[in-house]
Amino acid sequence: MRAALGVRFSAAVVRVEHRGRVRYERAYGRTRDDGPSLPCYADTRFDLASITKVFVATVALDQVARGALTLDDPLTPVVPEWCGTDHAPIALRQILAHDAGFKSGADYRTLLDKSVETFALTEPLAAPPGEKVIYSDLGYIALGTIVARAARHGSLATVVETVLHGWGATSIAYKPRGRERKAIPATETDAWRGSVQGDVHDEKAYLMGRVAGHAGLFGDARDVALLGEWYLAGLHGRPTPLDRALAREAVREQAYDLTLRRGLGWALKTNDENSCGALMSANTFGHTGFSGTSIWIDPDRDLNVVLLTNNVHHGRTDLREIRAAVADAAVTEIDRA
């Protein structure tokens, strides 16, 4: 981590939990490397990027537990726009597992004069539902619409933040306000928006008012680890607000892919080249975020490893080897204890 600081990212937090207890937590660096900055602390909030997907998927699973949604029925009662279209057979399970057939995404520059939500709901599918895994921002943008509609009140932000804050993840929220923004590590400087700090990095989420099902949440390492603990607790008999049967189902293989198998919201370790490293067990599940964030969870060891960085602050480079090194180091230390 120290070797990568100032080269791959300006700020980072590593948090390792074992059996639901913190074993290691450390913050590194400052909020930016190209101007006035603030120190990074253990409770610094980061742009979580696609880890948003797992938080929103977890809210959707809670709606299943409460009867507002079902996993396997067609979603046309919630999305009537799909009636009579190729989308009509799509079920929630398929969206969560990325095999509903949605295209992966779209260049934001083609969406500047469009409703991104409408585009995600109506763009022709790339494959029939259930045929193959296509990791899809569009599918999770649609999921955000479904979660908000199933709640029958409030926006997606209200629904997600109400559930997550009620479960103790109080740092997790969309749209940081005012003074909070300078304490959040800067992401990218680009030709469209200039220097992005305290605002969502993902362009499609930005066009959606900074609230989306695929990206847009900010949070600290404690609360990202809490996301993992809700599932680990369900597997190991500790208290959890998440339905235990759904927690177990979420980390089972739902759709096979040569690169990264899929659970419900979660990615599942498929080979030792995945960014969870070589040492975590075959049952490992987790997720990464484009901004430089990740969480990897080894249920066999009851081990939860969170790495938050602002990797895109130094360019859009692959962080896989650093994520893997942190995960391997955590496994080595836990196995040695």
Fold of 56-165: Beta-lactamase (3.40.710)
In this predicted structure, the answer to whether residue 249 has a pLDDT above a threshold of 90 is yes
**Residue ranges of E strands in the chain:** 11-18, 21-29, 46-47, 173-174, 189-190, 194-195, 217-219, 261-262, 267-268, 285-289, 293-298, 303-309
pLDDT, residue 154, reads 84
In this predicted structure, the answer to whether residue 188 has a pLDDT above a threshold of 90 is yes
Average pLDDT over residues 209-232: 98
In this predicted structure, the answer to whether residue 87 has a pLDDT above a threshold of 90 is yes
Domain ranges, ordered by start, for the chain? 56-165
CB 210 within 8 A of CB 174: yes
Confidence of residue 187 (pLDDT cuts 50, 70, 90): very high
In this predicted structure, the answer to whether residue 112 has a pLDDT above a threshold of 90 is no
The DSSP secondary structure of 34-95, one letter per residue, reads: SSS--B--TT--EE-TTHHHHHHHHHHHHHHHTTS--SSSBSTTT-GGGTTSTTTT-BHHHH
In this predicted structure, the answer to whether residue 178 has a pLDDT above a threshold of 90 is no
Residue-wise pLDDT for 307-329, tens only, equals 999 999 999 999 999 999 999 99
Partners of 285 in beta bridges? 268, 297
Average pLDDT over residues 184-202: 95
Average pLDDT over residues 266-280: 98
